[in-house]
Chains A and B, each alone.
Chain A
Amino acid sequence: MTTALGPSWADEIHGLFRTHRIGLVSLVPDAGHQRLIELCQADPAIRTVTLTTEEEGIALAAGAYLGGVRSALLIQSSGVGNCINMLSLPTVCQMPFFTIVTMRGEWGEFNPWQVPMGSSTPAVLAASGVTVFRADSAAEVAPTVEGALQLAWQSRRRVAVLLSQRLLGAKRFTEAAR
């Protein structure tokens, strides 16, 4: 379901962030994350940090974990490649790490420059030691995110949830730039 404010699954993720005590959300914006970003920014219990590049968020999450704060990183698939070496930090130190990746370069993509990283994102994450889950429909989002959050913190794993382009809707270049 999509309300006038945005997709209701974004509200469900935000609710899970509250129940799982996510205190820090770092991000490189994506249109698919817009509603969730707005919810996090409006929440006094969540500190949001805008990054210049995605790997900053990996190191930030590691520091926050050392200091006892749970965090989440919101990025799009084109930024996954930027994270590869920095993922060695939570992997080597056996730290929990949680990210939600909005997918580009798949279902209905207009921009061919998004396709290479969109295609390689699951394999790149897996090869970097990250457990990957994927939600293709609105109904799958909340249970997928909840299971991923539990795995990340209860079992101290590096975990990514991919939100598919079919779920998000392909970006429309011919109507209006976003």
Chain B
Amino acid sequence: MTTLPRREAVRRLLADRGDLVVTTGLGASAYDVAAAGDSPLDFPLWGAMGGAAMVGLGLAIAQPKRTVLVITGDGEMLMGIGSFATIGLEQPANLRIVVLDNERFGETGNQKTHTAARTDLAAVATACGIGDVRTITSLGQMDQLRNDVHRATAPLVAVIKIGAEPESKALPPRDGPFLAHRTRVALLGAAQALED
């Protein structure tokens, strides 16, 4: 199977992103999003491993008129694998999940994950009742995916097979209150962000 360069894949995914809300898993997926350009509509995790998809679901439920995109890695998604079942149950029309799958725990020494053997996260998502699931193996598929992230009317999961070579660290802000507040200001306005 061919793989994509991760930075280029995320750059194309976020091209002309408009008011797309993005939350990420910890580690390299957060760096990829930061490298594409930091935004107040980005909420990167620096911990809470396994939580990215559910942060996305919470955002999608709270902001039904916006599209919410979760960008995470295979290790992070494996830790929150039950989230696929919860999302399959809830069918949030405005939620997209992109798994950058290098089959490795990249932050800890590139140890192999379960996807390097027999676990297929796209098949898991399908089996959990998510209807629009794709596996991406070439850059040529990215423009279509980018467009469908914006246009889809049902939950979408894409597993992008990426190379295992590490990229430079492009660090997003890591101050939690700052990250939360700027996202709330961007979504709710300055006055409401200071209330509930």
Using a CB–CB distance below 8 Å, which chain A residues touch chain B?
21, 23-24, 47, 49-53, 55-71, 85-86, 88-89, 92-95, 153
A8 to B44, CA, bound (A): 42
Q: Mark each residue of chain B from 46 to 73: 1 if its CB lies under 8 Å from any CB of chain A, else 0.
A: 1111111111111111110000000000
Can you spell out 18 A-B residue pairs with CB atoms less than 8 angstroms apart? A58-B51, A59-B51, A59-B54, A59-B80, A60-B55, A63-B54, A63-B55, A64-B62, A65-B62, A65-B180, A66-B58, A66-B180, A68-B188, A69-B61, A85-B49, A86-B50, A88-B48, A92-B46
Chain A residue nearest in CB terms to B193 = A68
Q: Could you tell me the dominant secondary structure of chain B's interface residues?
A: helix
A175 to B177, CA, bound (A): 50
Cα A60 to Cα B45 in complex, Å, equals 13
Return A82 CB to nearest CB of chain B, in Å.
Answer: 10
Which of B8-16, B84-92, B96-104, B152-160 makes up part of the contact surface? B84-92
Taking CB atoms, residues of chain B closer than 8 Å to A153 are 196
Which residues of A sit under 8 angstroms from B29, Cβ to Cβ?
none
Interface residues of B in 138-196 (CB under 8 A from A): 176-177, 179-180, 183-184, 187-188, 192, 196
Asked if A67 and B86 sit within 8 Å, CB to CB, the answer is no
Closest to A153 in B: B196
Interface check B24, CB cutoff 8 A = no
Residue of A nearest to B179 (CB): A93
Q: Does the CB pair A49–B90 fall under 8 Å?
A: yes
User: Is B196 within 8 A of A66, CB to CB?
Assistant: no
A94 to B60, CA, bound (A): 21
Known: A85-B47, A85-B48, A86-B50. A60 touches B180 (CB 8 A): no
* Complex CA–CA separation, A94 to B184 (angstroms): 13
Let me know if A69 and B47 touch, CB within 8 A. no
A50 touches B86 (CB 8 A): yes
Least Cβ distance of B155 to chain A in Å? 14
- Per the bound structure, the CA–CA distance linking A70 and B195 in Å amounts to 11
Contact B58 A24 (CB under 8 A): yes
Give the 6 A-B CB pairs with smallest separation, nearest first: A63-B58, A67-B62, A52-B82, A59-B51, A59-B54, A93-B176
- Which of B58, B63, B90, B176 has the most CB atoms of chain A within a 10 A radius of its CB? B58
Contact, CB under 8 Å: A63 / B57 = yes
Interface pair B180/A93, CB less than 8 Å apart: yes
Interface centre among B46, B51, B85 (most CB of A within 10 A): B51
Contact A66 B183 (CB under 8 A): yes
Question: Knowing A55-B50, A59-B51, A68-B184 touch, does A94 contact B58 (C-beta < 8 A)?
Answer: no
A51–B47 alpha-carbon span in the complex (Å): 20
B150 to chain A, nearest CB (A): 18
CA distance A89 to B50 in the complex (A): 11
A89 touches B51 (CB 8 A): yes
Determine the distance from Cα of A100 to Cα of B154 in the docked complex, in whole angstroms.
Answer: 32
Contact pick for B177, options A59, A70, A85, A93, CB 8 Å: A93
10 further A-B pairs in the complex, CB-CB below 8 A; given A60-B54, A65-B58? A55-B50, A56-B86, A59-B50, A63-B58, A63-B60, A65-B180, A66-B58, A67-B58, A68-B192, A93-B180
Q: What chain B residues lie within 8 Å of A88 (beta carbons)? A: 47-48
What is the distance, in angstroms, from A79's C-beta to the closest C-beta of chain B? 13
